[in-house]
A and B are shown apart, each in its own frame.
Chain A
């Protein structure tokens, strides 16, 4: 059965701060807007609704509810069907969305780097585990080592602590000197963030925080038993239940790639109006620059204002948006990864977790194509999202090409979605004759 197509002025993919701000803004000007979100509800990585939601997030979520935009929760954008349509799938259904303007706001994910033992159950992304805990994953009483890099280690540790985990250590790979420089830069670029970091510090006052310290390996078989870390040239071993480990964020670029948007230096290229290289397609939030929530909101609003033709209202925001991006660049410099953490894997360490391809097996290959053809590296269910990001850092391989569909998709979705678009195209032709 071919389905009907939902006709929209604006389709937004991703209901984080960027997507929500864009949806609220677009709806203000009477644009028929749909917001597609993979998670059950809107919020993205920071505003996801939990009983203890913060006031700021509640304000935006209330605005979203009131604005009239159609929010499609639990809905994944899987691929474009033709140049102006997007196929989306839910747990038991699918739709085709036709758009005049498309805003990509798919956010970012954690960079997860291979080390011996990282496939043992009990190793998680750091912010990812916090996310799991918010949705009920039991961390109470568990002894957790939080490690990796970036400012997110602090809120992640705090969330885990709030849900009852015992935080044994927070290990930040960046050296203290760089972090002091970053704090100074923040005084000008983002003073509010400094205050926030200080507050996190206060609430984590009795937790050990080591700079210039990184995890090296994990021991355990059916579950994690011990984590080894390096600090000042010495190995420290900590018995614990969980390693929560993220090395900063990398943008989710798969959809932008599939749509042919130009990508440079690991982010979607946009001009000051958030326009990508493809006419009608805009991008906002973390996939244009890893710079946090304020940048996400501003860029989302700017994209929607430009679509509505409201350049007057958008222009005063450009300064703040570019300052937020400068904060993002300072962040990237301060938390740049040291070579040691990119070389943790030994010959036996699995790199591609979907296909269980080890570092040793990848050694003869110098690019993705061969690694894919010969070893199926990056060809499993995650489509190279984890090993692709890791190998782009470890071996400087450019990302593997994105292929539709973006995630495992039901055959019925693909067939019926394509049929619906063809039928609509035929009908349009018939009308012309």
Chain B
């Protein structure tokens, strides 16, 4: 069994296997939307490999992080803009 880590997504704690990407943790928490586009449309992860930046969220206070490229760490705080 992989070790579990706890991350906080929009204030709600969720435990995921270590190695899970932040994008995956968001989806596991039922959040398919990561941000709103410039015209207000809801958007979620798209390219899956860190190129399109559609999965960007705020991680530990830093905005604009690509959630598909970051692994969940114990205690991480993630805020979406959905």
Binding site for B on A (CB under 8 A): 38-40, 45, 50-51, 74, 91-92, 109-110, 112, 119, 121-125, 127-132, 135-138, 222-223, 252, 353-356, 380-382, 385-386, 407-408, 410
Contact = CB atoms under 8 A, between A and B. Distances in A.
B6 interface: no
Nearest to A221: B42
Given A125-B47, A356-B37, A381 B28 contact: no
Contacts of B43: 119, 121, 353
B46 A125 contact: yes
Contact of B24 (A119, A135, A354): A135
Given A125-B46, A385-B52, A408-B64, A137 B27 contact: yes
B48 A128 contact: yes
A137 B56 contact: no
Contact of A40 (B38, B52, B69): B69
10 contacts: A50-B19, A121-B42, A136-B20, A137-B45, A138-B27, A222-B33, A353-B43, A356-B38, A386-B47, A386-B52
A136 B54 CA distance: 18
A74 B64 CA distance: 15
| Most-contacted residue by chain B among A40, A132, A410 (CB, 10 A) | A132
A389 to B, nearest CB: 9
**Interface of chain B, helix or strand or loop or mixed?**
loop
Given A74-B70, A132-B68, A386-B51, A123 B46 contact: yes
Given A92-B62, A135-B23, A353 B46 contact: yes
A380 B42 CA distance: 16
Nearest to A358: B39
Contacts, number: 122
Nearest to A381: B53
A131 B48 contact: yes
Given A91-B59, A132-B21, A138-B27, A109 B49 contact: yes
| Most-contacted residue by chain B among A121, A354, A380, A385 (CB, 10 A) | A121
A50 to B, nearest CB: 8
A136 B19 contact: yes
Nearest to A357: B38
Interface string B63-80: 011001111000000000
Contact of B47 (A112, A136, A138): A112
A119 B47 contact: no
A360 to B, nearest CB: 14
Contacts of A92: 60, 62
Contacts of A138: 24, 27-28
B38 to A, nearest CB: 5
Contact of A355 (B21, B27, B38): B38
A135 B17 CA distance: 10
A252 B47 CA distance: 14
Nearest to B37: A356
A355 B37 CA distance: 7
A91 B62 contact: yes
A252 B49 CA distance: 12
B50 A38 contact: yes
A112 B45 CA distance: 13
